[in-house]
Homo-oligomer: A and B are copies of this chain.
Amino acid sequence: MRILEPGKPVSTPTRFSGILSPVVTPFDRDLNPDAQRLIEHCRWLLSKKVGLAVFGTNSEGNSLSVEEKLSLLDSLVDAGIEPGRLMPGTGCCALTDTVELTRYATEIGCGGVLMLPPFYYKNVSDDGLFASYAEVIERVGSSSLRIYIYHIPPVAQVGVSVDLVERLVRRYPETVVGIKDSSGDWDNTRALIERQWSDFRVFAGSETFLLQTLRAGGAGCISATANINPVAIQQLFAGWQSAAADTMQLALNEFRQLMQRYPMIPALKAAIARYTRDPDWGTVRPPLVELTSDQYQGLVSLLEARGFGMPGRCD
């Protein structure tokens, strides 16, 4: 970990908007995180105007220890990645883990953190979840902390209701500043936007809802496929008021459906492996498994048939 200068002023983060990617985490053949490859991928994403939601679900973030995540954050910042463009996932099962990660991310100047609720215990009360977030906020105790709530009930199985978000925003209006809604339920996303909390940033959890989200007044999306298809998604964000917006959305949908023929995380890594000509990029940590050879060939054929590329990444 970095030795932080005591009392060093940290700039007040600007709230995020636009497109972020839950950056996939490369592993070496011994299943250790590979900082150098991660840096390269982050630089490419930034060059495409995509922010860095490292340690999200698609990053295999919960397959990494706290120590591994702290070390990767150090590597990214040491490599010159602007911390204000980082929104690391910091929500763990254990209160103390969440506090440690969140505190460090805040101290090094991350633009915000994406925070799952504690997700081991199921059917917990809103009071218990409120207490979880409040305890983290109080322990970190920083005016620079910016939390984006991470609502992903299909995976975490513990969600954050609209009413609970409202309680948190009312209690901590300068700290709880946004949400990633990966419920896949547009009614929920719309309800979050319609509450109109001051400058609150609602991100769709997939580009499938990007145009709807922006038209309703949302901030953007944080989407797995932005790892490999950032340009087209960013173009819709930039041009959502243009006449071509619906056509652009349809093209994004088609691309996502193509990817969803395969398990998403291994498929993203396989595509990067293909376009960087670096087969080790395909490595995933258990419990995930890599694409089979047949799946890999099928994916590559589909991508090549539509002339897919990762400009600037593959050359």
Q: Which residues of B contact A62 (CB under 8 A)?
A: 93-94, 118, 120-121
Q: In angstroms, how far is the closest chain B Cβ from the Cβ of A170?
A: 19
| 8 A Cβ contacts from A145-170 to B | 154-158
Let me know if A286 is at the binding interface, CB within 8 A.
yes
| 8 A Cβ contacts from A13-40 to B | 31
In the bound complex, CA of A94 to CA of B57 (Å): 13
* A68 interface neighbour in B96, B118, B155, Cβ under 8 Å: B96
Q: In angstroms, how far is the closest chain B Cβ from the Cβ of A235?
A: 31
* A65 interface neighbour in B57, B66, B154, B157, Cβ under 8 Å: B66
Let me know if A288 is at the binding interface, CB within 8 A.
yes
B287 with A128: CB separation less than 8 A: yes
A135 with B94: CB separation less than 8 A: no
Q: In angstroms, how far is the closest chain B Cβ from the Cβ of A264?
A: 11
B286 with A135: CB separation less than 8 A: yes
B118 with A120: CB separation less than 8 A: no
In the bound complex, CA of A64 to CA of B97 (Å): 8
In the bound complex, CA of A158 to CA of B62 (Å): 14
- Which residue of A66, A120, A131, A132 has the most chain B CB atoms within 10 A of its CB atom? A120
Q: Which residues of B contact A31 (CB under 8 A)?
A: 95, 135
* A95 interface neighbour in B67, B100, B286, Cβ under 8 Å: B286
Let me know if A129 is at the binding interface, CB within 8 A.
yes
* A64 interface neighbour in B65, B96, B129, B131, Cβ under 8 Å: B96
Q: In angstroms, how far is the closest chain B Cβ from the Cβ of A304?
A: 27
In the bound complex, CA of A121 to CA of B57 (Å): 8
Q: Which residues of B contact A100 (CB under 8 A)?
A: 65
Q: Which residues of B contact A158 (CB under 8 A)?
A: 287
Let me know if A122 is at the binding interface, CB within 8 A.
yes
Q: List 23 A-B contacts (CB under 8 A).
A: A31-B95, A57-B120, A57-B121, A62-B120, A62-B121, A63-B93, A63-B121, A65-B94, A68-B96, A93-B93, A95-B285, A118-B286, A121-B287, A122-B155, A122-B157, A124-B288, A125-B289, A128-B288, A129-B286, A129-B287, A131-B287, A132-B286, A135-B286
- Kindly list the 3 A-B residue pairs having the minimum CB-CB distance in the complex, ordered from nearest: A128-B287, A62-B120, A132-B286
Beyond known contacts A65-B96, A119-B120, A157-B157: 18 more, CB 8 A cutoff: A31-B135, A57-B120, A62-B118, A63-B93, A63-B118, A63-B121, A64-B94, A66-B66, A93-B93, A117-B287, A118-B287, A120-B155, A120-B156, A121-B287, A122-B157, A129-B286, A132-B286, A132-B287
